[in-house]
Chains A and B, each alone.
Chain A
Amino acid sequence: DTGVSQDPRHKITKRGQNVTFRCDPISEHNRLYWYRQTLGQGPEFLTYFQNEAQLEKSRLLSDRFSAERPKGSFSTLEIQRTEQGDSAMYLCASSLLGQSNTGELFFGEGSRLTVL
């Protein structure tokens, strides 16, 4: 499968614990995005990378969230001191930078986080 893959698919954790999600984008894609989605809502932008550079981060994003893409390939999203409000589906997407500066996003299946 050459699509976007995310790991783990499901994570249950206790409040206050740290969690880390991994995303492997489509290999030739230079952009990688993280979104969060809760039931009945659209994907909420968190951050995105172009190659290894983190170009944008949502102003609404708590400093408990950090993301990296160290070699411009896979990315990790870490949430420290999780809270119940962090429970959501965390979606990763990748794209190839195009003329319009926004390529088609290819989403992974997501990592579902439940904070007890």
Chain B
Amino acid sequence: GQQVMQIPQYQHVQEGEDFTTYCNSSTTLSNIQWYKQRPGGHPVFLIQLVKSGEVKKQKRLTFQFGEAKKNSSLHITATQTTDVGTYFCAGSGIKGSGYALNFGKGTSLLVTP
């Protein structure tokens, strides 16, 4: 089963509103990755975070890795309809899982104009 928890499961926002999804692991992660999956599509890599407390930005997207390397967040500023999709975090180095990348259940984002 999944060892990485994500909340919320769904989020419906009006275009222009902000959006945040959170990812938590019970064990320390060596790194965390974020992926986006459009409806009917396959997961597409967004970013990888490796260092404790790391913050990375990609245009309107801000990614954070917690100090304890057990949690992460993705924040989208001023959502657009093109942001629609499911956002997954995936953790590596979870105890007992070697280097396999284990995905959370994802947060599905719906943006209405």
Contacts and interface: CB of A to CB of B under 8 A. Distances in A.
Interface of A: 33, 35, 40-45, 48, 55-56, 58, 60, 91, 93, 100-102, 104-110
B103 interface: yes
7 contacts: A40-B105, A44-B103, A45-B100, A93-B43, A100-B31, A100-B48, A105-B45
Nearest to B43: A107
Contacts, number: 71
A42 to B, nearest CB: 4
Contacts of A105: 33, 35, 43, 45, 90, 101
Given A101-B92, A102-B48, A106-B45, A42 B30 contact: no
Interface of B: 1-2, 6, 30-31, 33, 35, 42-45, 48, 50, 88, 90, 92-93, 97-106
Given A45-B102, A56-B99, A56-B100, A102 B92 contact: yes
B43 A43 contact: yes
A104 B48 contact: yes
Nearest to A99: B50
Contacts of B103: 35, 42-45
A31 to B, nearest CB: 9
Given A105-B45, A107-B44, A42 B1 contact: no
B99 A107 contact: no
A48 B99 CA distance: 9
Nearest to B88: A42
Contact of A104 (B30, B33, B88, B102): B33
Which 4 residue pairs spanning A and B have beta carbons closest together? A42-B103, A102-B92, A107-B42, A104-B45
Given A102-B48, A105-B33, A45 B42 contact: no
B50 A100 contact: yes
Nearest to B103: A42
B101 A102 contact: yes
A60 B101 CA distance: 15
A88 B1 CA distance: 15
Contacts of B100: 33, 45, 48, 56, 58
Which residue, B33, B44, B98, B101, has most C-beta atoms of chain A within 10 A? B101
